[in-house]
Structure 1
Amino acid sequence: MQKLSPSVYVYRPAGSSMASTTATTSQSPGPKLILAATWMGARDQHIAKYLAEYQTLYPSSPILLIRSEPWHFMRRRAASLELAHAAPVLGAIFPTVEPATCPPANVTSPTTPELLIHAFSNGGVGSLQTLRRALGPEAAALPPYTLLLDSAPGAFRYRDSFLAFTTGLNRPVLWLVSPVMHALCAWYWFWHVLIGRGRTGPLAVLAASLNDEGHRGREVRRAYVYSDVDKLVCWRDVEAHARDAQAKGFGVRSEMFEGSPHVAHARTDAERYWGIVKETWEGKSG
């Protein structure tokens, strides 16, 4: 993949014009672009498995990769500058996408998607929100799209949030950073759970942004893929978000996997997982 910034990469299929993608192993035309927004701190070898599967499903579709790193949540302005490197790729494929110049979106949902968005965990949702801000008015900046939400969105839970920022750290590093992480989680709980009653804070803002009714002017349909044993994102939070989305008129599909860890549902049952991806893109029910 071509590196556009430390957090943005693009894959251009050989011989692709970056404007027309029809060859696919699926039964419908492939996406003009696949936007994969990874979970926080995702490793190369894990990301590569998802990209390889997309290359098999839609061999002529370009892939725009947006990585999420822990510091993105601390330095949002710097994160926005990095993710802004994705804008020229979107503009090359979808000429109507222009930063900060898009007209207000029609609230009527389109019927044919052009963009496939796959967001993993709260890190991926955060990257998607940052990208929308970089492009301009949130409801109008993207072409018609389908949305896959893998293990997201989650609400703040002390233990889950602590694990999200410390998972994968070796023991010596964990000992060093644990006091800081506990302090941050305690501060967040006090201000956004106790004082804000769960309606304030970055995670609440991320969840609310997904269900902004203005997005119905661009979002064709979405699917939630989650697990009953996820230690980082509680299934109750995902299902509550899905119910709110459905009440606001979004086309929603919810798929719970049994026994699969966080962002590991594809590894647990690959056939089912990628079947959901294809069916969501094609507008078919499982």
Structure 2
Amino acid sequence: MGDENIDYNIVFPESFVTERHWQGSKEPVVILLGWGGCKDKHLTKYSSLYNERGCITVRYTAPLKTVFISESFGYKELNTTAHKLLELLYDYEVENNPIFFHIFSNGGFMLYRYMAELLHSHSRFSTLKVVGAVVDSGPGSQNLRGALRAITAALGPNINVVLLYFFLGLFGFMVFLLRIVLYSITKYIHKNHYDAMRDQPSAWPQLYLYSRADKVIRHRDVEQMVKAVQEKGVTVDSFDFGTSAHVSHFRDYPEEYSSRCLAFLMRCMQPTAGSQKKQRITVAT
């Protein structure tokens, strides 16, 4: 389902499933932000992991033009989308539930950046309780070759070859000029997602899942982000799957991937569950 402006999907688990896993505590709302070119059917298998554990899930993938064109050229269209997604929590009356992010590649991370900024600065959203975030196959920094590979994969094999190479050439030239050569100037107008989240990371715990075999996002970009966030005093875990391709860790290592994501969610939820339990005891007394 969705509103007139954004195409999202929200799933509420069966009440008995929620009660079995959360035993009276408020179940987390897991917000899944897809990679560029991601279809909702791709996100469904990830959201099922959380639905089966009694979590509410919200799935959304930003349009290709927004990720690769608007954001690359400094137009902050995703900031508006971020605001609308956070408003959904109030529309569905789950604003008091713990919030947990699951983010994919740069496409998801760009949107996550604006959502995180709103959570820190906006008076309405600053009261929302985020407990943690999983970042899959990202983020990357100034990797033009990886961006071109991502666009090619997202457009699919049926696009006209001449049109594809024209678009890739134009995109590559503009990004190289604005986001690499002139970035020392343009960053004061629009800092990229990588630098913004490295310089001012969110305080909630984070788990980065990546692979040295990823040809879209360089593993050293992820590792440098992990190190930078850790140096800011944030709790950060990471895991290198070693051989899996971009956003393919779950496909290649389903048990390992599921185990790590769910175990991380449970660790993030422990302080929240404890706080809610204390509140119930206090009321009962």
Percent sequence identity is 19
Equivalent-residue separation in structure 1 for 2:26 and 2:252 (angstroms): 25
Q: 165-174 or 270-279, which moves further after superposition?
A: 165-174
Aligned equivalent of 2:86: 87
Q: 190-199 or 34-43, which moves further after superposition?
A: 190-199
Aligned equivalent of 2:61: 67
Aligned equivalent of 1:223: 207
Q: 190-199 or 221-230, which moves further after superposition?
A: 190-199
Greater strand content: 1
Tell me how far 1:186 sits from its aligned partner: 2.1
Structure of larger gyration radius: 2
Cα deviation, 1:18-44, whole Å, max 9, x if unaligned, reads: xx95532x9996742111111111123
Aligned equivalent of 1:256: 240
Q: Which residue of 37, 44, 47 corresponds with 1:48? A: 44
**AA matched with 1:181:** L
Equivalent-residue separation in structure 2 for 1:249 and 1:133 (angstroms): 18
Equivalent-residue separation in structure 2 for 1:160 and 1:145 (angstroms): 31
Cα deviation, 1:40-65, whole Å, max 9, x if unaligned, reads: 11123322211222222x22x21111
Equivalent-residue separation in structure 1 for 2:188 and 2:19 (angstroms): 42
Alignment of 1:1-286 (within 5 A): 2-4=1-3, 5-15=5-15, 21-24=18-21, 31-56=27-52, 58-59=53-54, 61-73=55-67, 74-75=69-70, 76=75, 79-91=78-90, 92-95=93-96, 114-132=98-116, 137=121, 140=126, 142-168=128-154, 169-196=156-183, 200=187, 205-213=192-200, 215-216=202-203, 219=204, 221-283=205-267
Tell me how far 1:156 sits from its aligned partner: 1.7
Equivalent-residue separation in structure 1 for 2:189 and 2:245 (angstroms): 24
Equivalent-residue separation in structure 2 for 1:8 and 1:121 (angstroms): 18
Cα deviation, 1:145-187, whole Å, max 9, x if unaligned, reads: 2110000100122211111112142254343132222222222
**AA matched with 1:150:** D
Equivalent-residue separation in structure 2 for 1:115 and 1:275 (angstroms): 19
Task: Give the TM-score taking structure 2 as reference length.
Answer: 0.77
**CA 1:249–1:79: 2 relative to 1, 3 Å:** closer
Cα deviation, 1:219-244, whole Å, max 9, x if unaligned, reads: 1x111100111111010110011111
**AA matched with 2:157:** N
Given that 1:21 and 1:32 are in contact with CA atoms closer than 8 Å, whether structure 2 keeps it comes out as no
Given that 2:34 and 2:107 are in contact with CA atoms closer than 8 Å, whether structure 1 keeps it comes out as yes
Q: 191-200 or 225-234, which moves further after superposition?
A: 191-200
Tell me how far 1:202 sits from its aligned partner: 10
**AA matched with 2:8:** V
Tell me how far 1:81 sits from its aligned partner: 4.2
Equivalent-residue separation in structure 2 for 1:148 and 1:42 (angstroms): 17
Equivalent-residue separation in structure 2 for 1:199 and 1:133 (angstroms): 19
**CA 1:175–1:132: 2 relative to 1, 3 Å:** same
Given that 1:23 and 1:30 are in contact with CA atoms closer than 8 Å, whether structure 2 keeps it comes out as no
Greater helix content: 2
Tell me how far 1:69 sits from its aligned partner: 1.9
Q: Secondary structure at the match of 1:94?
A: coil
User: Number of matched residues?
Assistant: 257
Given that 1:121 and 1:150 are in contact with CA atoms closer than 8 Å, whether structure 2 keeps it comes out as yes
**AA matched with 2:137:** S
Given that 1:23 and 1:29 are in contact with CA atoms closer than 8 Å, whether structure 2 keeps it comes out as no
Task: Give the TM-score taking structure 1 as reference length.
Answer: 0.77
Tell me how far 1:71 sits from its aligned partner: 1.5
**AA matched with 1:149:** V
